[in-house]
Structure 1
Amino acid sequence: MFYFCLSRTMIFCFLSRTVQLASTSSIPGRQLCSARVNKPVLTLFTKKPCPLCDEAKEVLEPYKRRFILQEVDITLPENSAWYNKYKYDIPVFHLNGKFLMKHQVDIQKFEDQLTKLEMHNDGNH
């Protein structure tokens, strides 16, 4: 993880390929970025174009502040294992590395699992 001060009020947190922009108040940047890391990671296995993936992201839009979205393009050579596994099933979602759902968003299942992870993370602080 890297910390980069853009100004006195903004901090960039770089975590793998995901970038989170956080505004600071009285919380030091290091603590703020560490807190961001504890957000659940929702991985979307996708390809271009994928209208079903676009629809799924729209459904998830109201929840976007509660998780980090990581998109994996299964057509890239380095993702050939994911392509072989999911080529007929996208969109596919994993939550914190575990399979969650495919084809479309099951919003109740997503909310339940997201809440469970949030409660677990809050208990670890």
Structure 2
Amino acid sequence: MGPHGKFYWNELLTDDVEKARAFYSATLGWTFSEMPMDGGHAYYVATLGGEPVAGMMDKTDILPPQVPPHWFSYINVDDVGARVELLKAAGGQVVREPFDIPGVGRIAIVCDATGAPFGMMTAADQG
């Protein structure tokens, strides 16, 4: 994982995973592997040259239908819990309090003081 404060991961939330996978395979040469998630959902990890480059998942059961497909970014932080508290003090909002994804890390979904959403993430192998 990169240094604290650096963008780390991007994922596409879409309502047509197969169409998106075909598009990014054709245009960027990405290949995809499926990673099962809770509730029977699937998360797809895109790779290029054997390296993970992005993620993708179906937004249908996660977001309201009026939210269009979009890319979502995560910023690496040294301590998600502590950084969420700083975010709150600085006028940001927490959409989803910190939670753990086994083998991946600790994540929080937040908005900055202007309302722009992003994720904070501390990788499992980082601490």
For the criterion TM > 0.5, the same-fold answer is no
TM-score (norm 2): 0.25
TM-score (normalizing by structure 1) = 0.25
Larger radius of gyration: 1
* Structure whose residues are more often strand by fraction: 2
Per chain length, whose mean CA-contact separation is higher, i.e. which structure has more relative contact order (CA < 8 Å, sep 6+)?
A: 2
Name the structure with the higher helix share. 1
